[in-house]
């Protein structure tokens, strides 16, 4: 897609800067989650550890995306032209493949009190998220080969686990609400909405791409800003809610 | 072997992505083992530390493999051709040379209760694993010089310590089982099977190479995916079992 694109200096710099900002935010989030572990009860510490690892994974993958962006374009007098190196967008799929199951596990770990419900929820959420992200990865690979029909098939297949995960979060999480303090209750609802909104950006952006919206230099930059913000919300933001919920429940119980 | 190979964009990207995924997983595993140390009894903490260091070593070596892969091929219009730089597969031997003795020590440390048995087991396992990996390294070096007969000799020599290690794990570990909780007992058996299966990939892949199976672009990519998955299982997977066993035994005793 991007192989025909010439970027202005400003467009290239905007992409470059948003990726650097995301590296910094993810790294900062990882440090916050890791070092907040001793501020919560021991049984919440694994959840915070997983949130920290997810943010560290986000930091790593955005370092790779940042370097790939810088390699994919070269400065030619007044604008940036493609250098011949691919811009590896598959890093985002790899990032989600690892970070999202970990965050879903962390989210369930701070909510569910019964061990059976926890294990059943984790198993279903992790499997569904891996299937969803794998379909997205194959869709990205199909973009490289310009097979539009195949991309539509992967998009529809990916929507099935997406809807399934949202159903699980909206219906099966409800019993967990009863044991929560008023403060934690509010935070959990906000966290769930954050998951829905931030996750929705991916299928939406893919859909726009399939409808040939934004197939330009501006489109490339805008989409990449969108993906970065969605990742910051879905990983750093959700991790922050997990930390807050753990802190609220720790105060309640200590 | 790879010097005659041209890769498609998808084949190159698949190799590139599996190496990046392995870097990320090994790094995530290292963080998990390091930060889980405060969740187990003090006497298990050295084992978790060693598991964390092994995963960190895996992370480092896959960063090197990743860069070597990217350097070994260059984009030429529609496919990737060899650039003239070697793809340094010997990193895997160097990784195993350091990570495997550490993991075997960690595994014995969380199991054996008698000090004499621990020291005797560690000494034998570490020496045998170093000899095994050294033979594998010399075998890889022989591949570069196309001396098929020499490769067979190294393969057979490497199988002797391999079988010896498996015998030690199956026979000498049994006394350690008696002191374990039911949960830990099950985990130890699974961990031992994981070692057998993940370690077996190396001699099996070498054997297939000697029989000229997979000497193509697809073969190169498939073998590298296999090696990466075997390393993830043998290092990250075994470290996870060590952490789980330590956690199970800590709950039991606390």
Confidence band (pLDDT; 50, 70, 90) for B67? Answer: very high
Asked if B13 reaches chain A (Cβ–Cβ under 8 Å), the answer is yes
d(CA A223, CA A214): 8
Place of tokens 């984009």: B75
pLDDT along chain A (254 residues), means of 10: 74 96 98 96 94 98 97 91 86 94 93 80 93 88 74 92 93 73 88 94 89 85 95 97 93 68
ipTM: 0.90
User: Which residues on chain B are in Cβ contact (under 8 Å) with A141?
Assistant: 10, 13
Confidence band (pLDDT; 50, 70, 90) for B31? Answer: very high
pLDDT digits (tens, 9 = 90+) for B215-231: 888 999 999 999 999 99
Asked if A63 reaches chain B (Cβ–Cβ under 8 Å), the answer is no
Which residues 6+ apart lie within 8 Å of A224 measured at CB?
Answer: A15, A18, A19, A69
DSSP H helices, A36-173, are 45-72, 90-111, 115-144, 148-167
d(CA A238, CA A196): 11
Mean pLDDT of all residues in B48-57:
98
Closest C-alpha among B89, B13, B137 to residue A64 = B13
Please name the residue of chain A whose CA is at the shortest distance from the CA of residue B22. Answer: A94
**What are the two backbone dihedrals, phi and then psi, of residue A89, each rounded to the nearest 5 degrees?**
-75, -15
Length of chain B as a residue count: 254
Return the pLDDT at A251.
83
| Distance of residue B28 Cα from the nearest chain A Cα, in angstroms | 6
Return the pLDDT at A2.
47
d(CA A69, CA A58): 16
d(CA B32, CA B42): 17
Q: In whole angstroms, how far apart are CA A225 and each of A13, A121, A244?
A: 12, 32, 27
Closest C-alpha among A31, A33, A70 to residue A240 = A33
Residues B141, B146, B150, B156, Cα dihedral to 10°: 70
* B151 vs A30, more confident: A30
Return the pLDDT at B15.
94
The Cα diameter of chain A in Å comes to 63
In 3-state terms, what secondary structure has residue A123?
A: helix
Mean pLDDT of all residues in B102-122:
87
Q: In what order do the strands lie in the sheet with A7-8?
A: A7-8, A79-82, A73-76
d(CA A29, CA A45): 16
Which residues 6+ apart lie within 8 Å of A47 measured at CB?
Answer: A105, A106, A107, A109, A110, A242, A246
Q: Report yes or no: B246 and B38 within 8 Å, Cβ to Cβ.
A: no
- Per the CB < 8 Å rule, is A86 touching B13? yes
Mean pLDDT of all residues in B77-82:
86
From B9, B16, B24, residue closest to A98, measured CB to CB: B24
Asked if B67 reaches chain A (Cβ–Cβ under 8 Å), the answer is no
Asked if A84 reaches chain B (Cβ–Cβ under 8 Å), the answer is yes
Query: If residue A73 lies in a helix (H) or strand (E), which one and from where to where?
Result: strand A73-76
The model carries a pTM of 0.92
pLDDT digits (tens, 9 = 90+) for A238-247: 999 999 999 9
- Per the CB < 8 Å rule, is B10 touching A37? no
Residue by residue, DSSP assigns A22-54 as: HHHHHHHHHHHHHHTGGGS-GGGHHHHHHHHHH
pLDDT digits (tens, 9 = 90+) for B169-218: 988 777 767 777 888 889 999 999 999 999 999 999 988 988 888 788 89
Which residues 6+ apart lie within 8 Å of B16 measured at CB?
Answer: A88, B66, B69, B70
d(CA A130, CA B186): 27
Q: Report yes or no: B88 and B65 within 8 Å, Cβ to Cβ.
A: yes
Q: Report yes or no: A92 and A64 within 8 Å, Cβ to Cβ.
A: no
User: Which residues on chain A are in Cβ contact (under 8 Å) with B25?
Assistant: 98
Return the pLDDT at B84.
87
How many other C-beta atoms are found inside a 10 Å radius of the C-beta of residue A98?
Answer: 22
Q: Report yes or no: B194 and B233 within 8 Å, Cβ to Cβ.
A: yes
Closest C-alpha among A79, A17, A67 to residue A224 = A17
Q: Report yes or no: B52 and B33 within 8 Å, Cβ to Cβ.
A: yes
Confidence band (pLDDT; 50, 70, 90) for B43? Answer: very high
Closest C-alpha among B173, B231, B237, B252 to residue B23 = B231
CB proximity under 8 Å: B 29-58 to A:
31-32, 35-36, 38-39
Return the pLDDT at A112.
67
Residue A35 class from Cβ within 10 Å (0-12 exposed, 13-18 middle, 19+ buried)?
exposed
Strand partners, B81: B74
Q: Which two tokens stand for residue A70?
A: 């810088």
């Amino acid at each position: 897609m991007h192989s025909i694109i010439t970027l202005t200096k400003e467009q290239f710099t905007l992409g470059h800067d948003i990726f650097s900002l995301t590296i910094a935010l993810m790294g900062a989030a990882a440090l916050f989650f890791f070092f907040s572990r001793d501020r919560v009860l021991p049984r919440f510490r694994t959840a915070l550890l997983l949130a920290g690892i997810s943010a560290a994974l986000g930091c790593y993958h955005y370092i790779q995306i940042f370097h790939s962006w810088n390699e994919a374009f070269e400065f030619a007098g007044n604008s940036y032209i493609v250098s011949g190196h691919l811009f590896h967008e598959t890093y985002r799929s790899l990032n989600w493949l690892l970070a999202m199951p970990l965050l879903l596990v962390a989210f369930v770990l701070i909510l569910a009190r019964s061990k059976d419900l926890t294990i059943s929820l984790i198993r279903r959420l992790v499997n569904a998220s891996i299937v969803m992200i794998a379909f997205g990865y194959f869709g990205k690979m199909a973009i490289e080969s310009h097979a539009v029909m195949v991309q539509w098939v992967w998009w529809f297949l990916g929507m099935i686990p997406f809807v399934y995960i949202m159903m699980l979060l909206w219906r099966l999480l409800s019993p967990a609400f009863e044991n929560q303090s008023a403060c934690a209750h509010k935070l959990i609802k906000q966290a769930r909405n954050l998951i829905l909104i931030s996750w929705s950006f991916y299928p939406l952006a893919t859909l726009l791409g399939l409808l040939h919206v934004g197939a330009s230099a501006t489109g490339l930059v805008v989409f990449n800003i969108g993906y970065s913000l969605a990742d910051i919300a879905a990983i750093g933001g959700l991790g922050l809610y997990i930390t807050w919920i753990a802190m609220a429940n720790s105060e309640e119980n200590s």
